């Protein structure tokens, strides 16, 4: 469910027609629904209420400080994967007790900041990182809490892109499960550290709840072995990876995942254990759209192309993963106003390849997509863009990053202005800044 719907011939975000957003702020612009973000967070947390998890929203999916603050007011923590994301979380007012730090290549500076903040958990991914964290802890006179990221060697199905699969043996993330007990013992013997448990993350999006079941069963076997040896495991971070609806009715519900996960984790939480989740996409994806404007229409061989002002620098997922995003005009003809994202029954559609302005052959947002007949100047919405949209933007081709707008009811607020040409070169003109 989300708060983007066609009413009176135009796409609305909550109570605001997006044509008015395009007119006021220009395009490309990301538009987020506050009500959708809040509703998705609440319903995700409710699905797992029986095990009372700490839900740390994944900042890599959507990192605007205003949106982290919005979710923080609802009780969400933050999963950060860099010092920059940790900085954003602190600016957003997120309690360090509700903050975790992950990442396979954390710098000494990033680890030191996490130690000084005494965040809830640092997810470590190698023997070398444990050694560095121990040294930092002694220097700082603190005793950080950590979990060891385990690679359970569990592969999702073919619907998860290979480039976003992170739980199989030989990948860059985590410690192979057959080495995890040895590393746990080493960290537990270090009086500078508090090793509390384990972390797993299998990739994203994961469509089959049984993938989680297999990983958790392997993780719990490891926990049982360590507990029999006298250790106490108090934290199990099950990561994120829950899917979003890029097309209607294609993803399992949160209740489907909860049924599998709660059955396995209930005993652990009944004994006082803490479960942590790191959802991102599943909460944010359908809370945002990218609005864009048609610049040109052109013929290329047998193909009809529509060239937008938004491309792979503004939304990278299609170029990176060949991912699908539903695309439709903000003001379609009456006969082409969709009631869902299944538009196969609509008449009068034309097949287009949707491309951006970037000087790269991979700059396609969609291929062979059936759309109403388009004209230069028409505004389009690229749906399910709230996750890994703005966070993956770049200045390639010296493109300006887009604006971000938050809608709540009938209120519209600019939460990041569009970059200017001066912004593009501000960090380069050091001599001008220094007066040289």
CA atoms of 275 and 297, how far apart (whole Å): 52
Residue numbers belonging to the annotated binding site for substrate: 281, 317, 321, 360, 388
Q: In terms of DSSP bridges, do strands 288-300 and 16-17 run parallel, antiparallel, or are they unpaired?
A: unpaired
CA atoms of 415 and 436, how far apart (whole Å): 35
CA atoms of 114 and 193, how far apart (whole Å): 13
Residue 86, Cβ neighbours under 10 Å: how many?
A: 25
> What is the helix, strand, coil percentage profile of the chain, to 5?
35, 25, 40
CA max distance for the chain: 71
Q: Which residues contact 160 (CB under 8 A, 6 or more apart)?
A: 203, 204, 205, 206, 207
CA atoms of 184 and 142, how far apart (whole Å): 19
Residue numbers belonging to the annotated binding site for pyridoxal 5'-phosphate: 241, 278-281, 388
- DSSP character string of 208-234: -HHHHHHHHHHHHHHHHHHHHTT----
> For 117, how many CA atoms within 13 A lie in the half-sphere containing its CB?
25
Q: In terms of DSSP bridges, do strands 77-80 and 99-101 run parallel, antiparallel, or are they unpaired?
A: parallel
Q: Determine which one of 13, 56, 121, 359 is catalytic.
A: 359
Strand partners, 413: 406
Is 37 buried (19+), middle (13-18) or exposed (0-12) by CB count in 10 A? buried
CA atoms of 233 and 180, how far apart (whole Å): 13
- The sign of the CA dihedral 174, 180, 186, 192 is positive
- In the three-class reduction of DSSP (H, G, I as helix; E, B as strand; rest coil), residue 350 is classed as strand
Residue numbers belonging to the annotated binding site: 241, 278-281, 317, 321, 360, 388
CA atoms of 91 and 99, how far apart (whole Å): 12
* Annotation marks residue 359 as catalytic: yes
Beta strands (DSSP E) in 76-141 are 77-80, 99-101, 121-124
Active site residues: 359
């Amino acid at each position: 469910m989300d708060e983007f719907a066609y009413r009176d011939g135009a796409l609305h975000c909550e109570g605001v027609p997006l044509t008015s957003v395009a007119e006021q702020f220009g395009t490309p612009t990301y538009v987020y629904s506050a009500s959708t973000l809040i509703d998705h967070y609440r319903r995700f947390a409710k699905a797992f209420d029986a095990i009372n998890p700490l839900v740390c929203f994944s900042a890599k999916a959507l990192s605007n400080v205003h949106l982290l603050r919005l979710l923080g007011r609802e009780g969400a923590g933050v999963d950060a994967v860099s010092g920059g994301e940790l900085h954003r979380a602190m600016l957003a007012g997120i309690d360090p007790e509700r903050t975790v730090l992950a990442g396979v290549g954390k710098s000494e500076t990033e680890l030191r900041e996490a130690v000084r903040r005494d965040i809830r958990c640092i997810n470590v991914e190698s023997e070398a990182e444990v050694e560095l964290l121990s040294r930092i802890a002694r220097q700082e006179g603190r005793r950080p809490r950590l979990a060891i990221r385990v690679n359970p060697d569990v592969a999702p199905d073919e619907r998860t892109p290979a480039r976003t699969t992170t739980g199989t043996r030989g990948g860059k993330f985590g410690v192979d499960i057959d080495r995890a007990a040895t590393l746990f013992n080493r960290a537990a013997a270090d009086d500078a550290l508090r090793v509390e448990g384990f972390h797993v993350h299998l990739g994203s999006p994961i469509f089959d709840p049984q993938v989680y079941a297999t990983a958790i069963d392997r993780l719990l076997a490891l926990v049982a072995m360590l507990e029999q040896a006298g250790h106490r495991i108090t934290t199990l971070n099950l990561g994120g990876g829950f899917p979003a609806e890029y097309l209607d009715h294609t993803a399992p519900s949160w209740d489907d995942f909860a049924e599998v996960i709660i059955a396995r984790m209930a005993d652990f939480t009944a004994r006082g254990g803490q479960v942590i989740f790191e959802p991102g996409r599943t909460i944010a994806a359908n809370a945002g759209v990218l609005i864009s404007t048609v610049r040109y229409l052109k013929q290329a061989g047998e193909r009809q192309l529509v060239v937008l002002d938004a491309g792979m620098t503004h939304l990278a997922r299609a170029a990176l993963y060949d991912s699908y995003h539903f695309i439709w005009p903000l003001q379609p003809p009456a006969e082409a106003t969709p009631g869902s994202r299944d538009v196969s029954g609509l008449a009068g559609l034309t097949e287009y390849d949707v491309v951006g302005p970037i000087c790269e052959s991979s700059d396609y947002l969609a291929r062979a997509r059936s759309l109403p007949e388009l004209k230069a100047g028409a505004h389009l919405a690229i749906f399910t863009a709230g996750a890994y949209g703005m966070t993956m933007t770049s200045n390639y081709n010296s493109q300006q990053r887009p604006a971000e707008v938050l809608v709540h009811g009938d209120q519209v607020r600019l939460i990041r202005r569009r970059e200017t040409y001066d912004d593009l070169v501000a960090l380069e003109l050091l001599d001008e800044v220094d007066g040289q």
